[in-house]
């Protein structure tokens, strides 16, 4: 395979095999990692770079429950979507259906090492370290904090942000990427890790060790913080009007596929067989399209568009502009809008990047009209 890598920034490679009930296949297998395409012009306002891949292992099936989403902002839910989703779930439970299967994990790693089992990240006071972070999970949303320090987010999914804001915690949906600078100004031996205590204790962390410091690595939970993509937008920016708007509604059929949830886009589940599905959406090269996504489930979905970047234009009803990504977390019973320019002709996959969701229907295809 010969290709010219583009665009610049933090990208990723990963398998796209359907796993289904095989927890040794798909992204459960560990076939995921970062690809960094260096920009032609890099300001270089840092001393060195560190790459972190967050990944769980030893997956097992369990019966699902509610997914916490109290870290997302805006938190506004759409009442009609909530009524639709809750009504469908109540009807399923009334028929005696259990909650659909979810996946849990026995071990958690950063760069393939559990907390306490790898070399520390050794730093010096005053250093500016650029962290490139990939959530390589098959199914999980991850958080990351470093006690006594803040992250200056400079890029999301490899795309530079207009407002490099400081935040105490990073949140990443499945396959989301964040590049952030940390100024090392709080000497000690610290744990950089997930906010979830149980996950961190089972490995989801690493040690940051200042030169000349020793002792047991310390963890201090950060203050409450809500993750809002719009924080990184330029104030007052507005997005251009699209040439066309594509409407999508996402829904869950609880435990409808032999105990697994079936997922649909506009009422249609992507085939869970080897058959080749026709494209459901057709675009014309050079046009600007707005995808209006409405989530009629209580799950958070990391929505991914292949072969293109998109601009966030509305989050939970709140307009925004200027943030380019290729994965975005859509909250339960929320809506969002993203714009993309059809500038890369070819068959293009659109899906939720939660392995269980895309395995059981949450995918569709775009093609370019001739």
Domain locations in the chain? 9-60+104-227, 84-98+235-368
In whole angstroms, how far apart are CA 68 and each of 10, 106, 250, 298? 28, 20, 19, 9
Beta bridge partners of 143: 171
pLDDT digits (tens, 9 = 90+) for 75-114: 999 999 999 999 999 999 999 999 999 999 999 999 999 9
Print pLDDT tens along the chain (370 aa): 888 888 899 999 999 999 999 999 999 998 999 999 998 887 778 999 999 999 999 999 998 666 667 899 999 999 999 999 999 999 999 999 999 999 999 999 999 999 999 999 999 999 999 999 999 999 999 999 999 999 999 999 999 999 999 999 999 999 999 999 999 999 999 999 999 999 999 999 999 999 999 999 999 999 999 999 999 998 888 999 999 999 999 999 999 999 999 999 999 999 988 888 899 999 999 999 999 999 999 999 999 999 999 999 999 999 999 999 999 999 999 999 999 999 999 999 999 999 999 999 999 999 999 7
Residues with Cβ within 8 Å of residue 169, at least 6 apart in sequence: 71, 143, 144, 145, 151, 195, 222, 225, 227
Angstrom distance (rounded) from CA 230 to CA 323: 8
Q: Do domains 9-60+104-227 and 84-98+235-368 have the same CATH topology?
A: yes
User: Which helix (DSSP H) or strand (DSSP E) does residue 197 occupy?
Assistant: helix 197-201
Angstrom distance (rounded) from CA 309 to CA 344: 10
The b-or-e profile of 355-365 (16+ CB within 10 A means b, else e) is bbbbbbbbbbb
Q: Do 339 and 324 meet the contact criterion of CB atoms below 8 Å apart?
A: no
Beta bridge partners of 13: 33
Angstrom distance (rounded) from CA 249 to CA 303: 12
Question: What's the CATH fold of domain 84-98+235-368?
Answer: Immunoglobulin-like (2.60.40)
CATH of domain 9-60+104-227: 2.60.40.420
Pairing between strand 9-14 and 151-156? unpaired
């Amino acid at each position: 395979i010969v290709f010219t890598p583009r665009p610049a920034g933090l990208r990723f490679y990963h398998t796209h095999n359907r796993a289904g009930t095989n927890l040794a296949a798909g992204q459960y297998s560990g076939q995921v990692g970062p690809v960094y395409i260096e920009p032609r012009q890099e300001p270089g306002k840092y001393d060195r770079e560190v790459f972190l891949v967050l990944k769980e292992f030893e997956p097992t099936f369990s019966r699902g429950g509610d997914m916490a989403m109290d870290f997302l902002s805006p938190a506004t839910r759409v009442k009609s979507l909530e009524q639709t989703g809750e009504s469908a779930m109540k009807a399923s439970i009334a028929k005696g259906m259990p909650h659909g299967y979810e996946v849990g994990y026995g071990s958690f790693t950063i760069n393939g090492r559990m907390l306490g089992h790898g070399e520390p990240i050794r730093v010096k006071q005053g250093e500016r370290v650029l962290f490139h972070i990939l959530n390589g999970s098959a199914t999980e949303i991850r958080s990351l904090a470093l006690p006594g320090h803040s992250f200056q987010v400079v890029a999301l999914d490899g795309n530079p942000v207009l407002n490099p804001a400081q935040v105490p915690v990073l949140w990443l949906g499945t396959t989301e990427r964040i590049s952030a600078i940390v100024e090392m100004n709080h000497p000690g031996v610290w744990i950089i890790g997930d906010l979830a205590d149980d996950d961190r204790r089972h490995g989801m962390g690493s040690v940051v060790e200042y030169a000349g410091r020793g002792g047991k690595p310390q963890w201090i939970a950060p203050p409450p913080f809500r993750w809002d993509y719009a924080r990184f937008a330029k104030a007052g920016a507005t997005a251009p009007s699209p040439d066309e708007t594509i409407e999508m509604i996402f829904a869950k059929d609880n435990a409808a596929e032999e105990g697994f949830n079936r997922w649909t886009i506009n009422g249609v589940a992507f085939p869970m067989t080897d058959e080749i599905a026709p494209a459901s959406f057709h675009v014309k090269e050079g046009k600007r399209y707005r995808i209006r996504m409405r989530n009629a489930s209580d799950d958070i979905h990391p929505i991914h568009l292949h072969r293109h970047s998109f601009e966030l234009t509305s989050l939970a009803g709140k307009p925004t502009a200027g943030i380019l990504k290729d994965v975005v977390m859509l909250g339960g019973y929320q809506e969002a809008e993203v714009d993309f320019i059809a500038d890369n002709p070819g068959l293009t996959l659109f899906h939720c990047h939660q392995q269980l969701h895309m395995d059981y229907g949450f995918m569709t295809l775009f093609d370019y009209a001739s």
